């Protein structure tokens, strides 16, 4: 198994060309939000590249919930934002969710031609690593970044996943508390604070709080 870390849309395109299995990382917050939505009973999450793409997908999924954010704030008129805390407090039993986020959902759409796409973050890292180790394909970890720029939390999460995929040692170079402190330096954290969503950060930093692996099935994530 070869493991590469790529960044943004261009990195996703390279991974697709190589036919790698892909782990999408948007640690703050889409990856964590999707995991928490599944934990609250959602059965399908369809990432959309834009609000227009989401509206078009409503034709295929009548009755689906609309979830999305821009600059951390819920899109006006949508049912849900993109908050892991909000998802964890909602009853989403049997629900399909259409998702449009600033970064993560776009990365999924760009990666959708890959033979295998999963959503990974700190919150489900061990489950994702175990899932990928059971396969023999090469893996690309795609860091979603923020508005086209790399961010600390995605880079660190990708490094953490790669370490655990490669190594038999569980001792990463940073402790969980040190990872959290490093991620507080990210502009993503500042955006959460300014939006009054600082508690979402705590959800995003809870390493292995879930054993859920969202797997892309055609246009949407499901759980096997």
CATH of the domain at 140: 3.90.1560.10
Contact 44/221 with Cβ under 8 angstroms? yes
Which residues neighbour 205 within 8 Å (Cβ) at sequence distance 6 or greater?
122, 176, 179, 180, 183
The pLDDT confidence band at residue 1, using thresholds 50, 70 and 90, is confident
Contact 137/20 with Cβ under 8 angstroms? yes
Contact 25/125 with Cβ under 8 angstroms? no
CA gap 76, 9 in Å, rounded: 26
Q: Which domain holds residue 199?
A: 3-222
The pLDDT confidence band at residue 102, using thresholds 50, 70 and 90, is confident
Percent of the chain with pLDDT over 70: 100
Q: Could you report the per-residue pLDDT of 120-165, keeping only the tens digit for each?
A: 999 999 999 999 999 989 999 999 998 889 999 999 999 999 999 9
| Stretch among 74-83, 100-109, 179-188 having the lowest mean pLDDT | 100-109
Please give the model's pTM, rounded to 2 decimal places.
0.95
Indicate the number of domains in the chain.
1
The predicted pLDDT at position 168 comes to: 73
The pLDDT confidence band at residue 217, using thresholds 50, 70 and 90, is very high
* The two structure tokens encoding residue 151: 């961010």
Percent of the chain with pLDDT over 90: 90
């Amino acid at each position: 198994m070869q493991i590469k870390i790529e960044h943004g849309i261009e990195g996703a395109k390279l991974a697709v060309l190589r036919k790698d299995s892909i782990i999408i990382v948007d640690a703050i917050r889409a990856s964590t939000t999707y995991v928490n939505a599944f934990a609250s009973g959602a059965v399908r999450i369809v990432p959309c590249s834009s609000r227009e793409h989401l509206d078009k997908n409503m034709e295929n999924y009548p009755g689906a919930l609309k979830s999305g954010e821009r600059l951390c704030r819920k899109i006006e008129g949508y049912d849900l934002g993109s908050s892991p805390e909000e998802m964890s407090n909602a009853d989403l039993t049997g629900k399909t969710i259409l998702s449009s986020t600033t970064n993560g959902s776009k990365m999924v759409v760009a990666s959708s031609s890959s033979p295998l796409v999963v959503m990974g973050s700190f919150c489900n890292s061990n489950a994702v690593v175990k899932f990928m180790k059971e396969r023999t394909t090469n893996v690309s970890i795609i860091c979603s970044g923020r508005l086209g720029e790399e961010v600390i939390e995605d880079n660190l999460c990708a490094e953490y996943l790669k370490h655990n995929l490669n190594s038999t040692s569980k001792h990463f170079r940073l402790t969980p508390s040190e990872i959290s402190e490093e991620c507080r330096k990210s502009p993503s954290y500042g955006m959460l604070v300014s939006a009054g969503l600082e508690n979402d950060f705590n959800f995003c930093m809870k390493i292995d709080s879930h054993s859920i692996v969202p797997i892309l099935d055609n246009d949407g994530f499901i759980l096997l």
